[in-house]
Amino acid sequence: MTIIQTKKLTKYYGNAKNCVRALDGVDLEIEQSSFTAVVGTSGSGKTTLLNMLGALDTPTSGSVLVEGRELSGMTREQRAIFRRRRVGFIFQDYNLIPTLNVYENIVFPLDLDHSRIDTKMVGEIVELLKLKDRLGAFPHELSGGQQQRVAIARALAVKPAIVLADEPTGNLDSRTSQDVMGLLRSMSDRFRQTLVMITHNEDIAQTADRLIRIEDGKIIPAGGNGNVPEQ
Ligand SMILES: Nc1ncnc2c1ncn2[C@@H]1O[C@H](COP(=O)(O)OP(=O)(O)OP(=O)(O)O)[C@@H](O)[C@H]1O
């Protein structure tokens, strides 16, 4: 089943004189529960694509449908609820709240939404991400890798339908990277989550169900499990 679909998705920045075509007519379909790796050189449009899929930004033209709903047809408030309940974001710069401790950061989206905290599942995530001993610590007391793991735990705790991750293992050693990838995969199996991940790590990209290569805002045919989008 298709969970994400984009149609001629286009995002231009700047003005007519100085126009950056960050995304240039992207047609894409992503299957539910699949793991898609997005690769491409710096500035090719990867983050822009992720932002569009998660309703963090609006297209210049074209559309994004998630679970059959067109994101640009939503009101601002509907988009905020969609982001909070359906999407788990893992950003490159973590975006942790400095005044909250690790546990409070992890359950923050649930608190915001007045949702019940599944303490068993949060406990499992925390254990797998090796954060159990650091729950009372504040972000500034953590290493970069630990902060990244808190951001991952926070994204997964809401049991989102879609996990959008921008280089989530960039700051982790290879052993922890493998653990984090294992966790993301097993969470996606258990909760039928769809994972879309930007990565520069070829080994990780090769483990994806599908590899999408972006160049100058366009998807280009790429190698990767033979499952390559047509251009
Ligand atoms: N807010 C913005 N205003 C103007 N130009 C932007 C903006 N955001 C992105 N761009 C431009 O759009 C293009 C695509 O950027 P994007 O961040 O999507 O690339 P990327 O593939 O994620 O790069 P990286 O791997 O370096 O993170 C780049 O040329 C970038 O400079």
Kindly report, residue by residue over 122-141, the tens digit of the pLDDT.
999 999 888 999 999 999 99
CATH number of the domain bearing residue 101 = 3.40.50.300
Q: Is residue 222 part of a domain?
A: no
Q: Is residue 22 part of a domain?
A: no
Domain that residue 172 falls in: 35-55+75-210
For ligand 1, which residues put their CB under 6 angstroms from it? Answer: 13-14, 20, 22, 40, 42-48
Mutating to test ligand 1, I would choose from 10, 47, 215 the residue with most ligand atoms within 8 A of its C-beta, which is: 47
For 62, residues 6+ apart whose C-beta sits below 8 A from its C-beta are 6, 7, 8, 9, 10, 25, 26
Q: Which ligand 1 atom is at minimum distance from the Cα of 217? A: 14
Q: Is residue 18 part of a domain?
A: no
pLDDT at 228: 43
**Residue 221 pLDDT greater than 80, yes or no:** no
Q: Is residue 226 part of a domain?
A: no
Residues 21, 84 contacting (CB under 8 angstroms): no
ipTM of the complex: 0.96
Token duo for residue 126: 């925390």
Q: Is residue 223 part of a domain?
A: no
> What is the 119 CA–ligand 1 centroid distance (Å)?
38
Closest by CA to 165, choosing from 141, 146, 149, is: 149
Q: Is residue 16 part of a domain?
A: no
Q: Is residue 85 part of a domain?
A: yes
> Total structural domains in the chain?
1
> What is the 41 CA–ligand 1 centroid distance (Å)?
11
pLDDT at 135: 97
Q: Is residue 119 part of a domain?
A: yes
**Residue 226 pLDDT greater than 50, yes or no:** no
Residue whose CA lies nearest to ligand 1 atom number 4: 13
Residues 224, 208 contacting (CB under 8 angstroms): yes
